[in-house]
Amino acid sequence: MRRKIPAVMLAVLMGVCALGLTGCAAKEKIKYQTTFLNLFDTVTSITGYEESEEAFNRTAARIHDEMEAYDHLYDIYHEYPDTVNLCTVNRRAGETVTVDRRIMDLLVFARQVDEFSGHRTNAMFGAVLREWHEAREYGISSPENAYLPDGEKLRAAEKHTGFDLIEMDEESCTVRITDPEASLDVGALAKGYAVQKVSETLPEGYLLSVGGNVVATGPKPDGSLWTIGVADPEKNGETYLQKVGIGKGTVVTSGDYQRYYVVDGTRYSHIIDPETLYPGTKWRGVTVICDDSGLGDALSTSLFLLDRETGQELLNRFGAKAMWIDADGKLLFSDGYERMGMDHEEDITGLGCTDSHLHRGGRAAGWNQPDDQGRDRGKRQPGHDGNLRKATSGCRQL
């Protein structure tokens, strides 16, 4: 069972009026920010403009609770009391399981993604991903003994993948995995899908950043755009190489520079290509800009595994834009992406890094938080009181 920690939150009172005035009128909105470390095993940052800290705190607490509910439902590794989640569905393969509507909606979306991605982003690829997950976890904990999954085991596991091995009844909200050796793995989709659903309930003028998914619910109160920094893979995501501006929409990045392990000097990322059964190597990173974070998750993962021409066709289908980073660090852009860039000096509010799980061998890019090898996730961190509060620093503002 995953250890739970109290919500670790840090509210930052910026002391700047939304309209940029030196004196704040009673109705003028102030910028606040808070951070959570216990959602989807990554760093969650919430930035918003409200008339009071109390109003912001209420919204932030609601975001936390809703995201936590999605996190528990979509967890494939742990079960929770009084909750039927995807871990339950996997463990009860062969049985018909009644699930929450939020699980059913995700699985319907995942099936659509599987189809339009040409099976590159396949939520029923769990049997293969499990082999890589076990190897990666062991390689991170014991680098000197890191190994690659056995090729024969991968090919055998591949026989137990695909959406033809799952039955879904949308009306009755029931699911049955027909092959006991098959399993769901929604890691490429669940976080982005959850972020999108939660963001749809927020007022305008909020920015929600969860790992590699950044969603803006509308421009800042003065009408200006949010500035999102796209992480530099050459710096392991610790700095950024480009800035993009968004008013309403999402920026999602997939890459090989946060969740990976090393075997005999070679880096192996967590994004596995169903064609080869090995990590994709076409790109170092792909950043997608679109209207929906769930779709952005699906597109960024798919484009990471596709050649540029095929990826562009997929972007055109959904009216999305993308930037590719090739093996040499060269930036390639889809039509319209460069117009999203920001050349003027502007503080970065969100860092569009690739997903960086706190306890799965990565450090959250842009955040001064160590991974689980140096931190007990069951304890409060120094300087945090477990409640939203004012502070002079916290989330990194570059």
242 strand-pairing partners: 230
Q: Among the listed ranges 7-11, 121-125, 221-225, which one has the minimum average pLDDT value?
A: 7-11
CB 236 within 8 A of CB 365: yes
Give dist(CA 56, CA 33) in Å, integer.
9
Q: Is residue 19 pLDDT above 60, yes or no?
A: no
Q: What separation in angstroms does the CA of 33 have from each of 50, 99, 104, 241, 395?
A: 11, 34, 33, 24, 8
Q: What does the pLDDT read at residue 192?
A: 96
156-166 core/surface letters (b: 16 or more CB in 10 A; e: else) = ebeebbbbebb
What was the pLDDT predicted at 188?
95
382 or 157: which leads in pLDDT: 157
Dist CA 59 CA 281 (whole Å): 40
The pLDDT score that the predictor gives to residue 237 is 57
- The arithmetic mean of pLDDT across residues 41-51, rounded, is 94
Task: Tell me how far apart the terminal alpha carbons of the chain are, to the nearest angstrom.
Answer: 36
Cα separation, 148 vs 131, whole angstroms = 9
Q: What is the mean pLDDT of residues 214-222?
A: 96
Find tokens 């704040």 and name the residue.
24
Q: pLDDT at position 346, please?
A: 53
Higher-scoring residue by pLDDT: 352, 267: 267
pLDDT digits 0-9 by tens, 312-341: 999 999 999 999 999 998 999 998 887 666
Q: From the CB of residue 236, how many other CB atoms can be counted at a distance below 10 Å?
A: 16
Least confident of 12-16, 81-85, 284-288, 300-304: 12-16
Whole-prediction pTM value? 0.81
User: What is the predicted pLDDT for the residue at 231?
Assistant: 80
Rounded Cα–Cα distance for residues 225 and 289 (Å) = 14
Q: Is 80 exceeded by the pLDDT of residue 22?
A: no
| Residue 193 contacts residue 293 (beta carbons within 8 Å) | yes
Residue pair 97/175 in contact (Cβ under 8 Å)? The answer is yes
| Cβ-Cβ contacts under 8 Å for 391 (sequence gap 6 or more) | 10, 11, 12, 13, 383
| Range name among 90-104, 242-256, 276-290, 361-375 with the lowest pLDDT average | 361-375
Q: For residue 228, how many other CB atoms are within 10 A of its CB?
A: 27
In this predicted structure, which of 307-311, 345-349, 366-370 has the lowest mean pLDDT?
366-370
Average of pLDDT values for 219-234?
90
Average pLDDT for 149-168 = 98
What is the enclosing helix (H) or strand (E) of 126?
A: helix 126-141
Q: Is 251 left (phi over 0), alpha (psi -120 to 50) or beta?
A: beta
Structural domains of the chain, ranges and CATH numbers in brackets: 12-352 (3.10.520.10)
Q: Residue 362 burial (CB < 10 Å; 0-12/13-18/19+)? A: buried
How many angstroms separate the CA atoms of 209 and 172, rounded? 34
Quick check: 343 pLDDT over 90?
no
Q: How many CB atoms lie within 10 A of CB 176?
A: 16
What digits encode the pLDDT tens for the residues 118-137?
999 999 999 999 999 999 99
CA 348, chain centre distance (Å)? 19
- Per the CB < 8 A criterion, the answer to whether 50 and 11 are in contact is no
Q: What is the mean pLDDT of residues 239-263?
A: 90
Q: Is residue 28 very low, low, confident or very high in pLDDT (cuts 50, 70, 90)?
A: confident
Mean pLDDT of 78-87: 96
